[in-house]
Amino acid sequence: MMRIAMVSEHASPLATLGGEDAGGQNVHVAALSRALARRGHQVRVYTRRDDPTLPRTVAFAPRVDVVHVTAGPEEQIPKDDLLPHMAALAEGIADDWRSWPPDVAHGHFWMSGIATLDAAAMIASPPAVLQTFHALGVVKRRHQGPDDTSPREREWLEPDVGRRADRVVATCSDEAFELKKLGVPRDRISVIPCGVDLHHFQPEGEREAPRRRHRVVSVGRLVPRKGVGTVIEAVSLLAAEGVDVELVVVGGAAPSGGTDPELERLAALAGRFGVTDRVELRGQVSQSELPPVYRSADVVVCAPWYEPFGIVPLEAMASGRPVVASSVGGLIDTVVHGGTGVHVPPRDAAAVAAAIRELLEDPERAERLGAAGRRRVASRYSWDRVAADTERAYRSTLSRPRVRSTAGSSAEGVLR
């Protein structure tokens, strides 16, 4: 049995999903923690207190506690403004570790990595430190250019976390390649994907009734890089070709009706493309209400500009649906072109439209790809398998001499 500390500064397992800063990382930390606890380990998830009414500790699942650490104002703050509070987070975590020293500490996102390494440097018997980035600043900057709101310090602090951690867990092969370019030695990188809840997302069960002949579904946090604009344009191209198709877009800061600038932008875009009556911007939908939506899709489309991993395609495949996916990041590993879906280049509405059309015109093939997707996730992407692989990475890290010098801290001078 190990004591495992997960550090996830902005992404709490208790958050509701679909807003700008709550998505895959929250799901990952929650599901991985639960699955490790099922293997007998004790897990504490440390996250920043963003609401004064939150109790210090919440029992999240058997052997999993969420610990709220005060670091900065007790209110929601965009994740790109959190860096100045990482020193306080590290101190709060180290305080807890003095009475509950973990064997392993696993940072999620680059800023949590800073807090984790710094907390480890503050206690007498530091844990082995592993890091999962979930997203890399260099990739974000490459695709978003001046629209990237990450703090400038990310450019050097993020690779520094990668080099100082005892092990970095990449979620896909593309990320491992990027990490090597950042100077993380290959023998300290493990590739372990994210997983999916195979019981929750299933082909059989309740299914929403589409309003039109064909339905395309998109699910995700509503941020421009998810490429929902491309899918709306693709739907307009299909409608112009006479295909009777509708698009349901899940995600946004609030259930439909709430305000979210990206929802407003997408509504205006649908208007410009003349498909307002074909595009339903549903807003945030809870995990418990999602399965009937996935099942109602003829095709699930994931058309991001880039994607560090992408749990949504796994949920679609678990639901037995074929996936049209940009051939980027994690989607290169998870969606098999011609096997479980169709790959398209990013930001290419004509290619998305052609891929959707190809699947709508051959429902038997679409069915086959969906069934193959279910088999693929069942054999490779259960959280139990992800947890077993993660446990192996923890054990092999514990069995090796530490590479990290605990002297000195990346936060010093920068964060205080």
Q: What residues line the site for ligand UDP (CB under 6 A)?
A: 17-18, 23-25, 27, 219-221, 250-251, 284-285, 287, 290, 309-312, 315
Nearer to ligand UDP, 168 or 411 (CB): 168
Using the minimum distance from each CB to ligand UDP, give the nearer residue, 11 or 115. Answer: 11
- Of 112, 176, 168, nearest to 309 by C-alpha is 176
Nearest approach, Cβ of residue 29 and ligand UDP (Å): 11
State whether residue 402 is helix, strand or coil.
coil
**Which residues 6+ apart lie within 8 Å of 155 measured at CB?**
137, 138, 141
Structure-token pair, residue 3: 């004591």
Smaller CB distance to ligand UDP: residue 312 or 336?
Answer: 312
Mapped onto helix, strand or coil, the DSSP state of residue 197 is: coil
Kindly state the smallest distance separating residue 398's Cβ from ligand UDP, in Å: 28
Residue with smaller CB distance to ligand UDP, 170 or 415: 170
* Least spacing, CB of residue 367 vs ligand UDP, in Å: 23
Q: How far is the CB of 303 from ligand UDP (least distance, A)?
A: 12
Shortest distance, position 319 Cβ to ligand UDP, whole Å: 11
- Which residue number, 13 or 18, has a Cβ lying nearer to ligand UDP? 18
Residue 181 one-letter amino acid: K
Please give the Cα distance from 301 to 368 (Å, whole number).
Answer: 17
Least Å from the CB of residue 274 to ligand UDP: 26
In this complex, which beta carbon is closest to ligand UDP, that of residue 126 or of residue 304? 304
CB-based burial, 68-82: b 16+ in 10 Å, e otherwise: bbbbbeeeebebeeb
Q: Integer distance in angstroms from the first to the last C-alpha of the chain?
A: 36
Crossing angle, helix 110-122 and helix 154-164, to 10 degrees?
A: 50
**What are the backbone angles phi and psi of residue 304, rounded to the nearest 5°?**
-70, 160
- Backbone phi and psi for residue 171, each to the nearest 5 degrees, phi listed first: -95, -10
